């Protein structure tokens, strides 16, 4: 009898922990966009999606729940898998604004599935699957990074620009300080790779970042062509 009670207690604890994980809170989102020219200009190279070469614009990488201490939840609900039928009305928009550049060439399903299962499931207390992808797409329209940079005379022309001028241009265009992530090409040039903006837990309001990701950029960074 004692062993049965012990087993029941363990099952109840596991159930409680799984519910706790599913409903865990987070403090804000990172909305992350990546420059395809920098993604492709590395040792790993890239493969265009089956729909063809994406437009020369920043593409969505993800909408990531985060904590103010710099940590983040991940893979919060193993029972919630990506279901393309739930986002069928968003598909053409996702193909355009959230393309996968990984190899081998794909239709984006693997990329979107990864983003939902790793990050989206940790925001289910705020956004269901359709709302999660729709919210990211709306943010893409609101946060027009390429326009903000071009308005400041910063073009994807393989030239080098100061990290400060890139950050200032994005802040001028969006009203908020971005996080900038760089990668290095085969010649070890520091390149503009990803831009992080912070959003409240509803996914609709831009905010100042409680914490910015650590930058590995040089003082001068290249904005590569695509």
**Of 148, 179, 153, 175, nearest to 57 (Cα)?**
148
- Give yes or no: 188 in active site: no
- Give yes or no: 114 in active site: no
DSSP 4-71: HHHHHHHHHHHHHHHHHHHT---SEEEEEEE-HHHHHSSTT-----TT-SPPSS-EEEEEEEE-TTS-
Cβ contact 133:111 at 8 Å: no
Q: Which of 95, 117, 119, 181 is catalytic?
A: 119
- Give yes or no: 117 in active site: no
CA dist list (Å): 109 to 77, 85, 98, 117: 19, 12, 11, 12
Q: Which of 115, 117, 124, 134 is catalytic?
A: 115
Q: Which of 61, 117, 124, 181 is catalytic?
A: 61
Cβ contact 65:26 at 8 Å: yes
For tokens 């400060």, the residue is 164
Cα–Cα distance, 80 to 113 (Å, whole number) = 10
Cα–Cα distance, 163 to 167 (Å, whole number) = 6
Q: So which residues are the catalytic ones? A: 61, 115, 119
């Amino acid at each position: 009898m004692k062993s049965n009670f012990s087993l029941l207690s363990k099952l109840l604890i596991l159930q409680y922990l799984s519910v706790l994980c599913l409903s865990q809170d987070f403090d804000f989102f990172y909305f992350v966009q990546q420059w395809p020219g920098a993604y492709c200009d590395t040792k790993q190279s890239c493969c265009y999606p089956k729909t063809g070469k994406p437009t020369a614009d920043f593409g969505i990488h993800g909408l990531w729940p985060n904590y103010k201490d710099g940590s983040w939840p991940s893979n919060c609900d193993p029972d919630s898998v990506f279901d393309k039928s739930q986002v069928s009305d968003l598909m053409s928009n996702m193909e355009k604004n959230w393309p996968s550049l990984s190899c081998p060439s794909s239709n984006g399903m693997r990329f979107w599935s990864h983003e939902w299962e790793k990050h989206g499931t940790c925001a289910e207390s705020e956004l269901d699957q359709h709302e999660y992808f729709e919210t990211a797409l709306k943010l893409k329209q609101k946060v027009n990074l390429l326009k903000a940079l071009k308005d400041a005379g910063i073009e994807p022309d393989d030239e080098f620009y100061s990290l400060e001028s890139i950050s200032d241009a994005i802040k001028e265009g969006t009203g908020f300080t971005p996080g900038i992530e760089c990668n290095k090409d085969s010649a070890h040039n520091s390149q503009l790779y990803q831009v992080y903006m912070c959003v409240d837990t509803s996914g609709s309001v831009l905010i100042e970042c409680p914490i910015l990701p650590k930058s590995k950029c040089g003082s001068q960074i290249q904005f590569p062509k695509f």
